[in-house]
Structure 1
Amino acid sequence: MSMENMISLLEMSSRVLVFLLLVSTRILAIFAVTYSGDLAALIALKATWKNLPPNWVGGDPCGSKWDGINCTDTRVTSLMLAGTGLEGSEFSDISSLTGLQFLDLSNNIGLKGVLPSSIGNLKNLTVLILIGCSFFGPIPDSIGSLQQLVYISLNSNSFSGSIPPSIGNLSQLSWLDLSMNKLNGTIPVSTETAPGLDLLLRARHFHFSNNQLSGSIPDQLFSSNMNLVHVIFDNNKLTGNLPFSLGYVQTLLVVRFDWNSLDGPIPPNLSNLTSLNELYLSNNNFNGNIPNLTGMHSLYYVDMSNNSFKASGVPKWFSSLQSLTTLIMGNTRLQGQIPVDIFRLPQLETVVLSNNNLSGILDIGNSYSSNLTVDLQNNSITDFQQKSDYNLQLTLVQNPVCNTNGANAKFCSVQRRSNDLLPSNRCGVMSCGSHEILSPNCQCSHPYTGTLHFYSFSFTDMQNLTYYRILSRSLMTAFRSSGIPVDSVNLSSPMIDIYLQFQLQIFPSGEDSFNRTSISDMGFLLNRQPFEIQYFGPFFFIDEQYCCLPGSKKPSHVGIIVGVAVGGSILVLLIVLAGIYALRQRKKARRAMEMSNPFASWNPEKGSGSVPQLQGAKWFSFEDLKKCTNNFSESNCIGSGGYGKVYKGTVASTQVVAIKRAQQGSMQGATEFKTEIELLSRIHHKNVVSLVGFCYELGEQMLVYEYISNGTLRDCLSGKSGFWLDWNKRLKVALDAARGLSYLHELTDPPIIHRDVKSTNILLDNNLNAKVADFGLSKLLGDTGKGYVTTQVKGTLGYMDPEYYMTQQLTEKSDVYSFGVVLLELMTAKAPIQHGKHIVRLVQEAMGNTKEAQNFDQIIDPTLESGSKLVGLGKFVHLAMSCVRESAADRPKMGEVVREIENIIELVALDRKTEKRFDSSSFDETIDESPLHSYAAEGFDVSYGSFPFRLQHQ
């Protein structure tokens, strides 16, 4: 039989099976109340998804009340399984549930794949929540055909491509949240032939935070006919002016355009937004005059820091905003005297006016709040009226007032309030069983936990228990009003990192754990947010997978028991047919993914197809790594960052490894991932972390490295690691890291530029040997003939080569600059940017004074000053500052850096031998004490830009 005939026969057979499936489900409907089409779709889902509720048995989801399924008459109208650990990659079957009104699959990170265009079949859908899953690819344009949609939240996935203009057709839409994805392109507005977001006149929420949106903000986007209350576009790549039309939307309560590249003047009609509570415009390139916000009496929170406004005195409107709690205007070119009236505002909690040119005598009056925090670092304030009699948290570091006799006053040091918000423990001494936690009501149970992320907030006083109580009461009221069995909630660890975050624990009432229905109901309530909380803006909830859901987590492939003998054979047939149907759907999805997946034709077992060219690295399955990390348990987590988490595990029975698991928002494209593992697999050096293997399966990207036990150099310098590096050990760490980078630059072919050299990417093993790690941003120099690679600027703030930043031309000297910053960290233990000042500038200033040694004492790591003789420090400073020279051509090569550090270590060794040979105990005469730092006995020249200096012999 020919291949064509076989395919024709298979297609004919599949049509017959589908026909039998429809007939069978209609027969089954005689004995049940569930619509046959809905039943078939749910059975197909059951055949392809894992970890579905164990009570999904029988042939009547509506009559048997399957968990997560709600029905109206015979139709399934809601599928709500938030936070229940679902896993699956086939979603087209959901589109057969055409009666669906509510779809909530949020916080199921195991749901991975592309959202099918067939979702446009769900014409009755009103609420769509897919927060915290692992969807990728474009948002289908068909979503614009769901005319009943009121609420869309696709937050915290990896959706890419542009915002579908068709969303503008959703005339009923109130809430649109596409934040925390990889969306790019411009903001769509309507044309004569296409819809756009400007048509969403009923919309209350525009949430587009943390994407890659670019281009200008269309003036057409906003109008006086809109009902928007929250416009949130922070952390994108938007350019151009803030549109004048924004001032027409007088219903606005929150505006966020911070962390973009907007420029031009801020529209003066912004002051028309008299209902506005919070305004975030920081970290852009706005120029012109600081806008006049007089009359905005509802304004609580203002942040316009880090812009390029015209130099001006302190605006009078500062003191006219009687509702103001937070004013952040750092680095906005303010000058002159600060009016005392600012500090009399009754609600004021935080004032940040650092990095300006404020001058004169500071007078805070006597009518300020005792919980007020005022940051005036790096200004020109000459004196302080209330020097010894004030009751607020005040910072005047890097002002002339701190160079006078009052320099030892408490306002001349940086003081931070703790953000640990902990309610009082009324339970006395009590203990709970294994894995149980004591609730605020003194009951031991298993809480449902996660993090609340608030897009906006109108306060900054984390110690004010009023806010904690308001939030706790609001959540408890919402849970109880919805009939969810919650005993109490606990909020802790408040933190502001772009968004305000609270850790949330929800404790069950009457039981020691929650069932699936309660978990799903709580997730839906928190992410649907049918309630408002005073002082708190909109939020989203990301959970931690619940520990204690009952039932097996294995996929169910057993026969469905109807309960009546006559239906048994029919249900067995349904399983077979659903399996065949699911298999066909899986093949379709696989074919679609193969079009853009360079691993698609690669069989790791056979080495066929487009196999990555690996040298020693091993392929691991997802199940392998899941098993060796105890299902990626938190107890195995040894680190985390913007990329995801790192887990400790053991492979091949004995080899301890660190498994870096990318989270959905930081995953690379398949081609980039393949390139990275090829690059890593051919790096073999004792001072570079070795790649053991990788996993690219089920939508996961994981890199398996050798395990380095003593953590990062940054942790060590900050004291977090719990052990201390003396001067000799720091020199050894510098040498190891330099050798690793020199190997990458000079001994690999083609050369590799790391592009993200920093102290957190230098790891220390058991013997404190340093190894360079993390090659996620690395580039091959290749055979360009130019000596550089032109590429999009990437790296870490504080370590980035300024010449690379300006020209986008990446060379090995960019790594040299970053390594120079690491050398300065080794010497000072200070972060690259601290209190608004770069470490290079800090060292420059210490060198530029006539009393060099005295100034250096102030910046050297105090733990080194406690007893070390820092032999070679002068040469070390010389080397570091030569690495961070402004011009890349003036910096040394990494091989030259290695040799210079070796020379310094030899100098240390020689000094040690000299001390042993001429021990002072063998002399009768008195020996002069040498200065604490050896740089005081060295003469050398260094120049950085226009800052030459020379330390002389003493």
Structure 2
Amino acid sequence: MVKLYFVHSIRTTKLLISRRYSKSSWKMSKATKVLLLGTVLALWLCSVGANITDVNEAAALRAIKKSLKDPMRNLRNWNRKDPCTSNWTGVMCFNATANDGYLHVRELRMLNKNLSGTLAPQIGQLSYMIILDFMWNKISGAIPKEIGDIKSLQLLLLNGNQLTGSLPDELGYLPNLDRIQIDQNQISGPLPKSFANLNKTKHFHMNNNSISGQLPPELSTLPSLVHMLLDNNNLSGYLPPEFSKMPSLRILQLDNNHFDGTIPASYGNMSNLLKLSLRNCSLEGPVPDLGRIPNLAYLDLSWNQINGSIPSNKLSDDMTTIDLSNNMLSGPIPANFSSLPNLQRLSLQNNSLTGLVPSSIWRNITFNETDRLLLDFQKNMLSNISGTLNPPANVTIRLQDNPVCNAANQLSIVQFCGSQNGTLGEEDAPTESSAKCPPQSCPSEYYEYVEESPISCFCAAPLLVGYRLKSPGFSNFLPYKDRFKVYLTTGLKLDLYQLSIVSLIWEEGPRLRMYLKLFPKFNNQSNIFNSTEIQRLRRMFVWWDIPDSSIFGPYELLYFTLVGPYEEYTIDLPKSSISKGALAGAVLGSIAVAVILSAIVAILIMRRKGIKYGVISKKRLSSKPPIKIDGVKGFSFREMAMATNNFNNSAQVGQGGYGKVYKGILADGTVVAIKRALEGSLQGEKEFLTEIELLSRLHHRNLVALLGYCDEEGEQMLVYEFMPNGTLRDCISARKKEPLGFAMRLRIALASAKGILYLHTEADPPIFHRDIKASNILLDSKLIAKVADFGLSRLAPVPDLEGDIPGHISTVVKGTPGYLDPEYFLTHKLTDKSDVYSLGVVFLELLTGMQPIWHGKNIVREVNIAYECGMIFSVIDGGMGSYPSECVEKFVSLALRCCKDDTDARPSMADVVRILEEIWRMMPESDTSISESIVTDPKKSSSPSSSVAMKNIYVSSDISGSDLVSGVTPMIAPR
């Protein structure tokens, strides 16, 4: 058999060469023949002596690659001969499970590879696999039912893709499955009853899909289930009372589904439960008695139709968050809320609670510098207070829209009755800087100072880690920051100084996304991690070897980035359990193949004539030198891909005709907005650079700042500062549960006008924006407005030879319907008053909450009609609450003047700013306190009489314009 194999190899080699050369040209020296025969022998020896990947599994991997799309070419080495011995990316093998002499695929690791396409059914042929990981890609199609054939599977990780279809019943027959993560896909259909067979499964992470139907009561038999995350689906039916029998369940998170009936009383028997979150689930009936759950820390039953009184049984001392807002609760606020030492948030707003406002809730809490307590009692029927409201600075109390705020003898609580912005849990952890270290810089931009180490400071290169808490048991992270660092470094077996929390962001859920840096230990050689340590740390994250925490809940790895000195490391391939013979065979095989190829290439080179050396590749010819613009950073495509998880859909925050906008986190932790142009909207190189140079000159607190750009690999991207509160359009639409008050809307209007005034008068050269609209005005973390998107902007006209400045620019009409200046539309003459018109439309949106065009109606025309008929208050947005009527009238008058058809009748942008500042000064002091130095010229002020008269006159949103016309007096609201 061996002899036949050897002879066949020789004949095959000779045949291959003879096909290239005719018999007359088959002339080889004896030495050449010996060389070729020797290489064939070496190749044969390595084939006989080495294990190779199971044939069926190798074929399955090739089928998997064929069904995937790989634009970043992360799988480019999947064309090598053998998957296991040739180190295919993401393929990890071992040969310890069977005595068949073959290597078998143990893990398939495809985290963040920017893959799309579908999962091939042949994936089920990887019958020895333990981990299947395709997290954070763009894979579509259905989950193959053949995965149910992989009986060894322990981790099924498919979250963060675009998968559709229903969950296969076959997944319920995986006897060793520990974790199933399919969250953030588009899975539909019911939850299979077969999942009740998953006796070893601890984690059901299936949130943010479209799973529908009844929750199977059969799941109550699962003995090991710890986390059930099914929020943001389309589940219906009743909540199974049998779930109380799950012995290990710690987190039950079912927010944003559509259940019927009540919360089962049996849920009060879940002795191991740490978190119960049933927000916006259409539930009715009473609040169950949860006082028997000893360690319950987080309870959210908000946005339901729960009625009756709040149980007065004592709750767990571990409780951090109680949210019962937006229900139909009645009765008093119970005394049991006054004995919760770890409470961070108690939200009871928008119910029908009566009785006293308790002033004792915070008395059993010992506050340190980072502790915060929010008590939100707005929109109830609370009539008085118990004792005196004199909380410490750490406590925020909200009492707006309660009778207690209208009582004449309660002037001491006026500070708690105003509208307050911001919510607990939105703060970022302070960046951990190296302020204590000496000023000299580290040797490379990838190295940073490490503080609090055994030698105080040293330079080292960090690993960059994206990390997310999927269901934290608190509302405010800062008090738990030090505890978290101890928890994570202990789990990773690192020293405390080796972890830096660069930033954190609260996301919908609520979930807490973190950007971390891991530093190597100090040593006297090279202060970087070695490859073994990198593999160990990554494995700790992806194998979930870090123990679960009761307060921090489940976590997930978003990315594990290697930059600087780590770029050449391979993190996809930890050492597999492959025998020494297999490795030796792989090496010999590589040598043999190399020798054969060298011999054949040498023969071809000798036979061919006229070959010219030094040919420059097309790629090099097509390459272009990097562009540099002073004051603006040039980013690489790799940096942009890393910042956005390979432009993952979960990072997308907007889209327009130019392309998509992504939220990204740069390597230094800076959160940015990345505008990525579509292929069809790419500008020429000159035009793109001109736009960047123009934007780089714009510096104003009310303009979104350009931080950098990317012009690489056929891409054009602009990098802006990130605005966490989104667009003004979103903030004044129904998407926001807490509409903006009038004072905040006025502040936004003034800030927007100042930004545009800068463009018109102070920018060098001056600029006409040309596309001002509510969706191009963005709001930062403090709701400060900034004008964005200068893609349609034009330079203002320049003086001619005689020094005269033309009054307009003749140009093709561009902009957004509803905001377009009518004269510009008709004449194609763009002026500074065109921006004034568009901003006037934005002002009307702020005042009315309407869109510029809706149901065939135009906002300018509708407001004009109401104004001329004396019915202006009938179109004012009811979501503003109470407001000073004269201030609103002046604001409406200004907005309508801005929207005059006649250009000359419109005010200049300077006049707009001046009038808005006058309106601001008319506002009561309690409202104007929300801004810092918003009025540019404090010396200008309205007359004392008008100012004093207006401070106490407010119009309720319940009063219509007809009431005012008929003589109803505006509401007098003490402030």
Contact 1:154 1:178 (8 Å CA) reproduced: yes
Match of 1:445 among 431, 435, 460: 460
SS in 2 for 1:101: strand
**Aligned amino acid, residue 852 of structure 1:** S
SS in 1 for 2:184: coil
Contact 1:139 1:160 (8 Å CA) reproduced: yes
* 2:492 counterpart of 1:479: yes
SS in 2 for 1:725: helix
Contact 1:942 1:950 (8 Å CA) reproduced: no
Report the TM-score when normalising by structure 1. 0.60
Aligned to 1:652: none
Contact 1:630 1:636 (8 Å CA) reproduced: no
Instruction: Give 1:251 shift.
Output: 2.3
Match of 1:840 among 877, 883, 886: 877
Report the TM-score when normalising by structure 2. 0.59
Q: What are the ranges of 5 or more consecutive residues in structure 1 without an aligned counterpart?
A: 1-12, 17-21, 78-95, 190-195, 555-559, 578-619, 649-655, 664-675, 682-688, 690-700, 743-758, 776-798, 805-809, 824-837, 861-870, 880-896, 915-926
Cα 1:573–1:841 shift into 2, 3 Å: farther
Aligned to 2:219: 222
**Aligned amino acid, residue 323 of structure 1:** D
* 2:120 counterpart of 1:116: yes
CA deviations 1:343-381 (Å, max 9, x no partner) are 212332321112223333322323344343322233333
Match of 1:469 among 473, 479, 482: 482
Instruction: Count residues in correspondence.
Output: 713
Contact 1:514 1:549 (8 Å CA) reproduced: no
Contact 1:198 1:221 (8 Å CA) reproduced: yes
Instruction: Give 1:930 shift.
Output: 10
Contact 2:882 2:956 (8 Å CA) reproduced: no
Contact 2:359 2:388 (8 Å CA) reproduced: no
SS in 2 for 1:255: strand
Rounded Cα–Cα distance in structure 2 between residues aligned with 1:950 and 1:928: 25
**Aligned amino acid, residue 324 of structure 1:** M
Instruction: Give 1:631 shift.
Output: 0.9
SS in 1 for 2:564: coil
Aligned to 1:293: 290
Rounded Cα–Cα distance in structure 2 between residues aligned with 1:943 and 1:416: 24
Aligned to 1:242: 239
SS in 2 for 1:110: coil
Contact 1:132 1:156 (8 Å CA) reproduced: yes
Aligned to 2:753: 725
Cα 1:388–1:720 shift into 2, 3 Å: same
**Aligned amino acid, residue 444 of structure 1:** C
Rounded Cα–Cα distance in structure 1 between residues aligned with 2:750 and 2:60: 54
* 2:447 counterpart of 1:436: yes
After the TM superposition, which residues 189-200 of structure 1 pair with which residues of structure 2 at under 5 Å, given as runs?
189=193, 196-200=194-198
SS in 1 for 2:259: strand
CA deviations 1:506-534 (Å, max 9, x no partner) are 11235444456544543332132122234
Match of 1:100 among 94, 99, 105: 105
Contact 2:382 2:404 (8 Å CA) reproduced: yes
Match of 2:144 among 140, 149, 157: 140
Aligned to 2:375: 374
SS in 1 for 2:499: strand
Aligned to 1:813: 854
Rounded Cα–Cα distance in structure 1 between residues aligned with 2:127 and 2:180: 18
Aligned to 1:882: none
Aligned to 1:667: none
Aligned to 2:548: 532
**Aligned amino acid, residue 446 of structure 1:** A
Instruction: Give 1:814 shift.
Output: 5.7
Rounded Cα–Cα distance in structure 2 between residues aligned with 1:429 and 1:32: 56
Aligned to 2:267: 270
Rounded Cα–Cα distance in structure 2 between residues aligned with 1:505 and 1:168: 38
Instruction: Give 1:135 shift.
Output: 2.5
Aligned to 2:651: 644
Aligned to 2:310: 314
Rounded Cα–Cα distance in structure 2 between residues aligned with 1:53 and 1:680: 28
**Aligned amino acid, residue 142 of structure 2:** P
Aligned to 1:350: 345
Instruction: Give 1:909 shift.
Output: 11
CA deviations 1:851-878 (Å, max 9, x no partner) are 623xx4xxx7xxxxxxxxxx96234678
Contact 2:54 2:103 (8 Å CA) reproduced: no
Contact 2:312 2:336 (8 Å CA) reproduced: no
Instruction: Give 1:725 shift.
Output: 2.0
CA deviations 1:885-904 (Å, max 9, x no partner) are xxxxxxxxxxxx96679798
CA deviations 1:299-334 (Å, max 9, x no partner) are 111000111112x233213x3334322211111222
CA deviations 1:454-496 (Å, max 9, x no partner) are 22222233221xx33333233223333xxx8997111243443
Contact 2:134 2:157 (8 Å CA) reproduced: yes
Pair member with larger Rg:
2
Rounded Cα–Cα distance in structure 2 between residues aligned with 1:647 and 1:637: 16
Aligned to 1:747: none
SS in 2 for 1:290: coil
Instruction: Give 1:234 shift.
Output: 0.6
After the TM superposition, which residues 373-452 of structure 1 pair with which residues of structure 2 at under 5 Å, given as runs?
373-387=374-388, 389-391=390-392, 392-398=394-400, 399-403=402-406, 404-409=410-415, 412=418, 414=420, 418-421=427-430, 427-433=436-442, 434-440=445-451, 441=453, 442-452=457-467
**Aligned amino acid, residue 364 of structure 1:** S
Aligned to 1:488: 498
Instruction: Give 1:502 shift.
Output: 2.5
**Aligned amino acid, residue 212 of structure 1:** S
**Aligned amino acid, residue 415 of structure 2:** A
Aligned to 2:801: none
After the TM superposition, which residues 12-161 of structure 1 pair with which residues of structure 2 at under 5 Å, given as runs?
27-30=45-48, 32=50, 72=94, 99-106=104-111, 108-161=112-165
Rounded Cα–Cα distance in structure 1 between residues aligned with 2:815 and 2:377: 38
Aligned to 1:874: 892
After the TM superposition, which residues 438-587 of structure 1 pair with which residues of structure 2 at under 5 Å, given as runs?
438-440=449-451, 441=453, 442-464=457-479, 467-480=480-493, 488-497=498-507, 498-509=510-521, 510=523, 511-514=526-529, 518-530=533-545, 531-543=547-559, 545-548=561-564, 568-570=591-593
Instruction: Give 1:411 shift.
Output: 7.2
CA deviations 1:524-558 (Å, max 9, x no partner) are 3213212223422111111264213657699xxxx
Cα 1:180–1:387 shift into 2, 3 Å: same
Contact 1:229 1:251 (8 Å CA) reproduced: yes
Cα 1:512–1:123 shift into 2, 3 Å: same
Instruction: Give 1:905 shift.
Output: 2.7
Q: What are the ranges of 5 or more consecutive residues in structure 2 without an aligned counterpart?
A: 1-15, 20-39, 571-582, 601-621, 628-632, 665-677, 684-690, 692-712, 732-743, 762-767, 775-784, 797-812, 819-844, 865-874, 916-940, 971-975
Cα 1:643–1:178 shift into 2, 3 Å: closer
Rounded Cα–Cα distance in structure 1 between residues aligned with 2:478 and 2:500: 15
Identity %: 20
Cα 1:251–1:704 shift into 2, 3 Å: same
Rounded Cα–Cα distance in structure 1 between residues aligned with 2:854 and 2:650: 26
Contact 1:97 1:122 (8 Å CA) reproduced: no
After the TM superposition, which residues 719-798 of structure 1 pair with which residues of structure 2 at under 5 Å, given as runs?
725-726=753-754, 763=789
Rounded Cα–Cα distance in structure 2 between residues aligned with 1:115 and 1:332: 44
Rounded Cα–Cα distance in structure 1 between residues aligned with 2:881 and 2:560: 46
Instruction: Give 1:428 shift.
Output: 3.8
